Structure 1
Amino acid sequence: MTHSTSTKLLIALATTALLAGCSFAPGSHMDYQTETAPIDDLVDIEPITPGLLAAWQEGDPAVPISDEFQAELEAYEYRVGPGDVLSIIVYDHPELTNPGGTERSAAEVGNRVQADGTFYYPYIGRVSAEGKTIDEVRSELTRRLAAYITEPQVEVSVAAFNSKKVYLSGEVSEPKTLPITSVPLTLVDAISQVGSANPGANWHSIFLNRNGQQQRISLYELMRNGDMSQNRLLQPGDILHVPSAENQAVAVMGQVNGPGRLPLGNERMSLMDVIAQSGGIDERSADASGIFVIRGKEQGDKLATVYQLDVSNAASFTLASRFTMQPQDVVYVTTAPIARWNRVISLLLPSISLPGTTAGSIDDVRDFND
């Protein structure tokens, strides 16, 4: 949740408290009058049902490459830029092809494109190359050499790609700069060239920064589920950042045997996994109708969605095994009857952006329920 959303949330809750007439004074008893507080105006309420889970799981996650992306790849042409080194061969004219001798590489003796976008070539002088394709440079050389050589046969290639780069940073095996070459460079190619993302990387949300704008891409959907709509053809100057998964966690509170913070991991956990890894529900004090998942919203008028699972019937735990958790979720198992959920949500809403610190507020919630 963003800082602005959190601020809006606190203001709304403060207003609610004032309207409800809560009084705070040293040594006084807190007068809870939140039974009628307008919490419904702040959150959307969704019971966890088979229908809800079926709607989430509709469709095939594997998305093939689109026609537009395929056309973009097929139309790709490298354009020469300053810093590139060109290898030029004029057949039957070795004095033009490799004047430095055969012991030196093409990158060493080739024609470097200067900062003004041109390079020098014998007989014809300066040749403009910046922004041109290899075929266009070859045609220009052939046309101008024809004044000195009968029917010149010219071949041009790039011996060193130096002008166009993309930048990879963050949780990858080897952060580096990658050159853009005559072969199209996609996001998958770039990640593969640095040895894939680290185990501690957040595969669900990597960032592509291009021309001052940021795109959020799921490397997990691309690599794990074959969603090719997540792939991109990289362009010069792109910055690809793979963030850490340190903040990919959920907070578990209330009547569980081991409340605290649980890292999600890239494979994600279900609600059942979270409850199990928290030591299970404390059956002595928990209310079976009151398992809440509070999920904050960054957009819209509502501040959060509250998902509620009733496990009065143990078979309902099968729904928990199909409910996928998201980062920053708060799971709360209450002792309060479901009719008192307004009070529970009033206390929990400010915590949905603080999964690393909610464990410290557990005692307060328990005090409220006692």
Structure 2
Amino acid sequence: PELTAPGSQDQLDANTREVLNDGTLYFPYVGRIRAAGRTVGEVREQLRMGLSPQYTEVKVDVKVLRYNSQRILLSGSFKVPGPQPVTNIPLSLVQAVSVAGVDLTDANLAGLTLRRDGRDYLIDIDALNRKDSKLSRIFLKDGDYLHLNSNSRNKIYVLGEVRNPQVISFGTTRLTLLEALGNSGGLSPDSADGNAVYVIRGAENFAAATSTVYHLNAKKPTAYLLAGQFELKAQDVVFVGPADITRWSRFISQLLGSASVVQTGAAFRN
């Protein structure tokens, strides 16, 4: 605590008293008093009473200069991980995350874990700006631990007849099939079969569980509406199959090596 008095910084430092490991502090003419577990008002009153025999009309002001014993800890995909102090001003989850900053290139926004009193709570900070979000009502206390997971496991594999086959990492709660296809440039107009769009779920662990395959006929007018509502999960594989002419072209290319499809087609017609 700091027993404030007007004056320079040197005078301010001279009036600062550190609470020791045993929870006590020492002040001249009063001696050692217990501060741990007591309010500022209680400490102020004890000091006033202790100084009263030495001074008349004693007025003492006490405030906490630094909170060194109470803190929370943040780790993971934050820009500034590490401890944050818990003060007399309530610290919300949103404030703590804002101070630490989120590394958007690496963070899984749906994977924030709050560990409190031996229990883990999974929190989706991607939901912060949603209308019904209650994250602003979560306040932290001494000993809380926040870990923000990486998005390294949040990958979608887009393969087959798309313009830009790729691995998509996503750090949000929601990624739809339509978004994944859009990020990959869409279906290849020259080689894709719109009736052969598949989502394979569970492909990373064939031995332990049965995979599920979802089929989308992109030739139907409602297909993209459905794709916009279909939410992908981490490790899903999106595969777009080739059209019949593409299969035939590849088959002929394998048989004849460098012979072009056009030349082969002409030879068959003759």
TM-score computed with the length of structure 2 as normaliser: 0.72
Instruction: Give, in angstroms, the shift of residue 305 of structure 1.
Output: 6.0
Q: Which has the higher helix share?
A: 1
SS, match of residue 203 in structure 1: strand
SS, match of residue 247 in structure 1: coil
Note if 1:117 corresponds to 2:23. Answer: yes
1-structure distance, mates of 2:13, 2:152: 43
2:93 to 187, 195, 203: 187
2-structure distance, mates of 1:306, 1:105: 74
1:322 to 190, 212, 229: 229
Q: Which amino acid aligns with 1:133?
A: T
SS, match of residue 113 in structure 2: strand
2-structure distance, mates of 1:124, 1:143: 9
Tell me, yes or no, if the aligned pair for 1:217 and 1:230 is still in contact at 8 Å. Answer: no
- Distance change (3 Å), C-alpha of 1:153 and 1:108: closer
Matches within 5 A, 1:267-306: 268-281=174-187, 286=193, 288=195, 291-294=198-201
- Distance change (3 Å), C-alpha of 1:108 and 1:121: closer
2-structure distance, mates of 1:285, 1:176: 49
2-structure distance, mates of 1:108, 1:244: 46
2-structure distance, mates of 1:261, 1:143: 70
Instruction: Give, in angstroms, the shift of residue 210 of structure 1.
Output: 2.8
Note if 1:240 corresponds to 2:133. Answer: no
Q: Which amino acid aligns with 1:328?
A: Q
Tell me, yes or no, if the aligned pair for 2:110 and 2:173 is still in contact at 8 Å. Answer: no
Deviations 1:58-98 (A, max 9, x none): xxxxxxxxxxxxxxxxxxxxxxxxxxxx1125xxxxxxx58
Instruction: Give, in angstroms, the shift of residue 130 of structure 1.
Output: 0.5
Partner of residue 35, structure 1: none
- Distance change (3 Å), C-alpha of 1:290 and 1:244: closer
Instruction: Give, in angstroms, the shift of residue 110 of structure 1.
Output: 0.6
Partner of residue 3, structure 2: 88
- Distance change (3 Å), C-alpha of 1:211 and 1:312: same
Q: Which amino acid aligns with 2:88?
A: S
Q: Which amino acid aligns with 2:63?
A: S
Q: Which has the higher strand share?
A: 2
1-structure distance, mates of 2:135, 2:94: 12
- Distance change (3 Å), C-alpha of 1:230 and 1:289: farther
Partner of residue 102, structure 2: 197
SS, match of residue 160 in structure 1: coil
2-structure distance, mates of 1:137, 1:304: 65
Higher-Rg structure is: 2
2-structure distance, mates of 1:102, 1:255: 74
**C-alpha RMSD of matched pairs (Å):** 3.5
Greater RCO, CA 8 A, separation 6+: 1
Unmatched runs of 5 consecutive residues or more in structure 2 = 204-208, 243-270
Q: Which amino acid aligns with 2:79?
A: S
